[in-house]
Structure 1
């Protein structure tokens, strides 16, 4: 059996919080993927230009970065983390409900900024809490977590598709011919890069006819059980004010969990439930004491963060520009055929994350990263050598999505393993990955405009090569990083606080 019995016992003991964090990440995926397909209908709803409406992307992505950084500040207590998750998941449902009532692009940008803050907090806190619960066994659970964000991102456009307008949804006699290019424009819209649609002129005046509101309300209903699940977890842990549920039963569970951990060699240093809330402040204090930290401590953070900056940047670059690359020379694909490429890419990412769940239990995160990064670099080289082949672009797209799918959860598990699961790295890595997705799209889009479409693959080769080189540096730093004294001192401090709490 591929699943270890001790790990299964640990999973059963933490079943409710684990499933709750997974479901919250589904909300994240549902919210992050709907904007691209629905942007033209939202343009009609707000009577704005293509250049103006594409900046809604920036509003969302920038606030995701802010929320990711803000989420790290809530790690001092489990109660605070769950409260923020409850508010954030509820906010996402609320945003879905009110988007159809936003008739000004500035109001829509503000609403998406609020959603971005909620998404950033979800991203950091969910990753951080799973690492805290499972520590050295967290890799497989992080893979499941990121499968759920991929599943949400895959499902969101499918929900929206039946309600998207097939023609220009602002009635105007002046530019009816532009409606023929509507699908091409929709696929050409790239976050943070409004210049790529500057030559298209669509009407701004006239009645707007769109049914996209129903898509948002359906997504709001689908997401509604998520805040309910977070609330039930808070209730179980006695964190809901005014409710009669007491913490005494939770304490007995935690004591039982601690005794079970002592009898299993891989669970000695795990914390659960209320113990996290009591002693995480001490852990944060130790984490922030970098005065005597070795130079490898900072170097590991930097290397891991830059690798994720590059890898998530590749995801944003490829999903954003593969369509534009495919419809130009030398491939010159039909617009409808090229439109399948981004969907194929995200489907391959979701499938790769699903397959990585059992694989990550048998294969170390360090080895998975090596395989993934070699696969990404090899795929870009294959795409470059077969750039005249239509079959090559489809095969390469699928393999690239499959290869890059588990880079983030594997890197997070590997980095936290190097640093003894202090939780310091999670905020840095999540923020760096989001920053890469935003910045790399801007840089690559500028290069494509100035140098031509062939530079799309050259940029991919350069980014993947740099990511692989930094991974090699990270492995060297891992071998150099002291693991004895630092881990022992933190373990002794945690044991002292745990004994004090039990007394």
Structure 2
């Protein structure tokens, strides 16, 4: 039995240049996602700032990622504008990696991370949009692969940074001696700060200097990542040359002859507009209420599931080192890496599963599995072994929710393009907002509330999915009724035309 049939393979070969380029661009996205957490203490030393000040770079990255997600929809009308935006975004990421070692003030570092976040948001929106536009009803399998490359990049950047992280204090005090914080204390701090929404508590016990001689070697890690990322903009530029979108290749672009969306609707600019046109007054006329409800429910589902990913990655370490588990710092520090590795493995496996099963089936399995794992984690909350097992299974279950939801919603809405932008924006917002919410709850109620919050949001997500299925049925019936009405109208008008002739 063949893993992929000839039709899917033929589609991939037809659009392999664009597909591989979008996948490589998402690898660049993944590099930016995961490097900040492990390197945050070394960046604190480099900028000679306090812990409270350095955590603002997390906010800067996440906020501008959301801004970039919104702006990404403005560049999708033509292949030229999309690839130009991707080229500039990937170059910005390499540029930011290269200049981070030169940012010796926390404000400059925040500006640099804001630029990187904006580039990440543009990549996120355009990459998803273009793959949906290329493959349409067959996009699910390729979207799963696209998001696999985020996980791959997120695994690479911490591995690059790890050899250059400081083992002890990277700022020598006025007497040119290291402070009293041990390597174990700094490892605990680094793991605690890995979550973007982490709430800083009891940091006064770690006497970290802000003035003195900086001895960090983290600059080499960022320069290496800048070099690793350089082939990505080169790949985008190569694709632009191949598609004859640069002046030195040809005066006649290949966009119209090769664009898979060259049906009359897409070629005339009606199929894939930016979000403002999609929800403009002209587009709203004649749209049923289910059109908007599907956008809202799809956005709410990915808001919750991406929020769970962000909050779990951010606070599983804090939960593990707190009572009743009281896990060791090194052992608990592995949980975040295991979680991201399982998400990456899950996306790899769902590439094949997306080919075998429709998106609603995969979403049902993922969301039911998510609820079961969360409930079992609450039941066996005193078991360190089950926390590791549950973390692995949780990552596998939640890994495919976003690409499956995106493929499902776009299919229901006949690939109008607006759903992709809405879902990307919702996912980015959920990752920020739920981390802040869960962090606040943990601060006020204790670490056990971390699992309770995740479980409650999982149930809400599954309930919204059931509403989504029900709305999809109503939307299909409405579309069928419209088609029947139009057919009857055409049949009634045809005899009148013949009699007139």
- Normalised to the residue count of structure 2, the TM-score between the two structures is 0.91
Aligned-pair CA distance for 1:247: 2.9
User: Is 2:200 aligned against 1:195?
Assistant: yes
- Separation in structure 2 between the aligned mates of residue 311 and residue 244 of structure 1, nearest angstrom: 44
Aligned to 2:189: 185
Moved beyond 6 Å, runs of 4+: 274-277, 485-490
Aligned-pair distance for 1:32?
Answer: 1.0
Other-structure match for 1:236 = 242
Root-mean-square deviation (CA), in Å? 2.1
Structure 2 vs 1, CA of residues 165 and 421 (structure 1 numbering), >3 Å: closer, same or farther? Answer: same
Rounded Cα–Cα distance in structure 2 between residues aligned with 1:275 and 1:91: 35
How do residues 108-123 of structure 1 correspond to structure 2 at under 5 angstroms?
108-123=109-124
Deviation at 1:279, TM superposition (A): 2.7
- Give the CA deviation at 1:201: 3.9
Aligned-residue offset at 1:61: 0.4
1:75–1:280 contact (8 Å) kept in structure 2: no
Alignment match, 2:363: 369
Structure 2: gaps (5+ residues): 487-501
How far 1:10 moved relative to its partner?
1.3
Shift in CA distance, 487/335, structure 1 to aligned 2, threshold 3 Å: farther
Q: How does 1:433-444 map to 2 (within 5 A)?
A: 433-444=427-438
Alignment deviations for residues 344-385 of structure 1 (CA, whole Å, 9 cap, x no partner): 000100000111111110111111011001111111101000
Cα distance per residue 1:77-109 (max 9 Å; x no partner) = 221111000000111011110000000000000
Question: Distance in 2 between the 1:339 and 1:347 partners?
Answer: 13
- Give me the whole-angstrom Cα distance separating, in 2, the residues matched to 1:432 and 1:392: 31
* 1:416 and 2:410 correspond: yes
Please say which of residues 93-102 and 174-183 is displaced more in the overlay: 174-183
Task: Give the aligned partner of residue 49 of structure 1.
Answer: 50
Report the Cα offset of residue 248 of structure 1: 6.5
Secondary structure class of the residue paired with 1:331 = coil
Equivalent residues of 1:185, 1:197 under 8 A apart:
no
Check the 8 A contact 2:179/2:207 in 1, yes or no: no
Q: How far apart in 2 are the matches of 1:18 and 1:67?
A: 21
Q: For structure 1, which runs of at least 5 residues remain unmatched after alignment? A: 255-269, 491-503
Give the C-alpha shift of residue 238 in structure 1.
1.9
**SS, match of residue 103 in structure 1:** coil
The number of equivalent residue pairs is 473
Q: Which residue of structure 1 aligns with residue 89 of structure 2?
A: 88
- Which string of whole-angstrom CA distances, capped at 9 and with x for unpartnered residues, describes residues 173-206 of structure 1? 5872223400000001131445336434411010
Q: Report what 2:252 is aligned to.
A: 247
Q: Please report how far the alpha carbon of residue 6 of structure 1 lies from its aligned counterpart in structure 2 after TM superposition.
A: 1.3
Q: TM-score, normalised by structure 1?
A: 0.90
Matched, 1:223 2:229: yes
Following the alignment from structure 2 to structure 1, what is the Cα–Cα distance between the partners of residues 254 and 424? 34
CA distance in 1, matches of 2:294, 2:258: 36
SS of equivalent residue, structure 2 residue 75: coil
Q: What's the counterpart of residue 259 of structure 1?
A: none
Q: Which residue of 2 aligns with 1:176?
A: 179
Moved more, 229-238 or 49-58: 229-238
CA distance in 2, matches of 1:417, 1:247: 32
Aligned residues of 1:169 and 1:210 also touching (Cα < 8 A): yes
Structure 2 CA distance, aligned partners of 1:282 and 1:332? 55
- 1:384 and 1:407 map into 2 onto residues whose CA distance is 22
Match of 2:347 among 341, 350, 353: 353
Is contact 2:65-2:121 (8 Å) kept?
A: yes
Alpha-carbon distance between aligned partners in 2 of 1:438 and 1:45, rounded to the nearest angstrom:
26
Q: Given the superposition, is the C-alpha separation of residues 213 and 385 from structure 1 closer, same or farther in structure 2, using an over 3 Å criterion?
A: same
**Residue 99 (structure 1) aligns with:** 100
Q: How does 1:122-141 map to 2 (within 5 A)?
A: 122-141=123-142
- 8 Å Cα contact 2:192/2:198 also seen in 1: no
Tell me, yes or no, if the aligned pair for 2:244 and 2:254 is still in contact at 8 Å: no
Task: Spell out the pairing of 1:321-470 with structure 2 (5 A cutoff).
Answer: 321-470=315-464
Structure 2 CA distance, aligned partners of 1:40 and 1:291? Answer: 53
Say if 1:24 and 1:89, in contact at 8 Å, map to a contact too.
yes
Which residue does 2:261 correspond to in 1? 271
Match of 1:280 in 2: 269
Counterpart-to-counterpart distance in 1, 2:253 and 2:94: 33
Helix, strand or coil: the match of 1:176? coil
CA–CA separation in structure 1 for the residues paired with 2:59 and 2:108: 14
Deviations 1:134-154 (A, max 9, x none): 000000000000000010001
Aligned partners of 2:50 and 2:210 also within 8 Å = yes
Cα distance change on mapping 1:286 and 1:28 into 2, 3 Å: closer
Deviations 1:381-437 (Å, cap 9, x if unpaired)? 010000111111000000001110111100100110111111110111001101111
- Alpha-carbon separation, structure 2, partners of 1:123 and 1:488: 38
Determine if contact 1:26/1:148 at 8 Å carries over to the other structure: yes
